[in-house]
Chain A
């Protein structure tokens, strides 16, 4: 339990650092981002809007400390002011629509990559003197280390544009009404195949190698030899004896991978015009919509912190020793 409390307080502190960073960012940058913003939005904003933005940044009267407190309050009440790009819609509403898709993409691909990667890693280490163990890991290392953006572009070009197998934009067919119908879910899946696929391709090697390295250490243990000597089937030895123990160090890597997965989702969404946070972020950058950009950073940080905490819970479940 104390482990979880320690982790929670760490995430809390980390979140505060993120808020403070967000607060300082517009104040530390060369030039006044507000001016840049107004220049970018010339003529599109009325004075009330400008005041709203100014207030959103905490650029109001009062000492920096008061501004800071006001900013923190606005973060916790989820009142981040209106977006410049889609005025007068609130930043939180804009993000609220996109966040689920990014979570779906980032976490979905992470889980699928984890399952496939761990399976391949287990098998490749168990049969590492065979053809599979010698060819598959290097091949995956090669393919998985293409930059996110490149994998996405290549899949986009070959499967989307050339073969015209799968849709190339949006999260679902705009003609359909969202709901729990087979048609709608089918459309969501179809639209997610390419973006998620490209992220899985990139993510898989991490797990193959983590698992393989952990497995190779475990396979030298006496209890594995004992299990083999008892005449257990190789599947049983591989999964129940070696795999179970090798998965622990792999679980620690999940925390790290969550951040990468969200970053990858941002890039992938841009390529596939998938309506998640990455897409909005790009639009925000083009329009110099700083309130939106900052809020997206903040929401990504919170998402990653939450996901990390879930990974911690998973770790405690896998290895109860840690919580003592």
Chain B
């Protein structure tokens, strides 16, 4: 009998567990739905970036030619065989742009991860600890913030000679954290004295646990926003270093594509596709990430919302005005 009760009990438990799981998944989907619902910028940005990511992921399937091989005569205009034409060295631009997406996005995303890790570490420590630690870290942040990053990067890259994408990633990561750190610091300071932090301290929780469990979850939208901003910046810088000839021109990335297009004066000779295609790829990726970033801002600060949210507000206002006899 006891066994039976036990088994029923455990069955209940497992049903509850699975219900919880379903609820959780539903919760995730409703969050995603809420993010995109009635928010055209987010939808457009999301669609575009999905396209770019899919293109990068499925490059081996989608590409029509080997991006590193000479497959045709130089500077063939876009046609059925070469959808986006060929480069000066006879490589297929369409295939290059797909494979280049992999390299450029890897550099940008990894640089973003490095930068935001540093930014979170510095910002949260500085904001939560306060005192001397804060003073020093804040000083460090301000020094880095005041130095022009890109020239610094250019000089470092110039001294290292032509550098591979790994070095560029690391350089970008370690030079672009200060802005994130500053924003995260001030946000940490803002929630530092809230009741839930103080009660956690009174309960004797360790500082590390307070930072990881109590503070960090409240910074998610800021950190993610900063991450996207850094990714946009890193992608642009990679392209910039590439066109200056500081990247590794033998790798296929959007930056190196721009470099080859520039050195072969593609624009002057009328071979616009060699230059405009990678430029457009960079533009679409940057722009769509920015649209998503903007929508994240609206989630963390609903006051910034426009659209349906405002329509509802207007409707309510109108009704209220009618009740008061103003209309």
Interface residues, chain A, with chain B CB atoms under 8 Å away: 10-11, 13-14, 17-18, 25-26, 29-30, 33, 36, 128-129, 133-134, 137-138, 141-151, 153-154, 156-157, 161, 205, 209, 212-213, 216-217, 220, 255-256, 259-260, 262-264, 266-267, 270, 281-282, 284-286, 288, 290, 293-294, 296-297, 300-301, 304-305, 308
Please, which residue of chain B has its CB at the minimum distance from the CB of A294?
Answer: B155
Tell whether A285 pairs with B244 under 8 Å between CB atoms, given A33-B159, A266-B150: yes
Tell whether A282 pairs with B244 under 8 Å between CB atoms, given A17-B143, A147-B235: yes
A270: contacting residue among B139, B243, B275, CB under 8 A: B243
A3 to chain B, nearest CB (A): 14
Interface residues, chain B, with chain A CB atoms under 8 Å away: 40-41, 45, 139, 142-143, 145-152, 154-156, 158-161, 179, 232, 235-237, 239-240, 243-246, 258, 267-268, 272, 275-276, 279-280, 282-283, 286-291, 293-294, 297, 301, 303-304, 306-307, 310-311, 313-314
* Chain A contact surface mostly: helix
A25: contacting residue among B159, B239, B286, B291, CB under 8 A: B159
User: How many angstroms from the CA of A148 to the CA of B232 in the assembled complex?
Assistant: 11
Given contacts A129-B311, A267-B240, A281-B154, 8 further A-B contacts (CB under 8 A): A138-B294, A147-B239, A147-B283, A150-B286, A153-B258, A156-B267, A255-B145, A285-B245
Q: CB-CB < 8 A to B161: which residues of A?
A: 36
**B236 and A147 form a contact (CB under 8 A):** yes
Please, which residue of chain B has its CB at the minimum distance from the CB of A146?
Answer: B283
User: How many angstroms from the CA of A311 to the CA of B149 in the assembled complex?
Assistant: 19
**A256 and B294 form a contact (CB under 8 A):** no
Q: CB-CB < 8 A to B294: which residues of A?
A: 137-138, 141, 209
**B148 and A304 form a contact (CB under 8 A):** yes
B257 to chain A, nearest CB (A): 12
**A290 and B159 form a contact (CB under 8 A):** yes
User: How many angstroms from the CA of A266 to the CA of B288 in the assembled complex?
Assistant: 25
User: How many angstroms from the CA of A10 to the CA of B147 in the assembled complex?
Assistant: 13
A161: contacting residue among B142, B240, B267, B287, CB under 8 A: B267
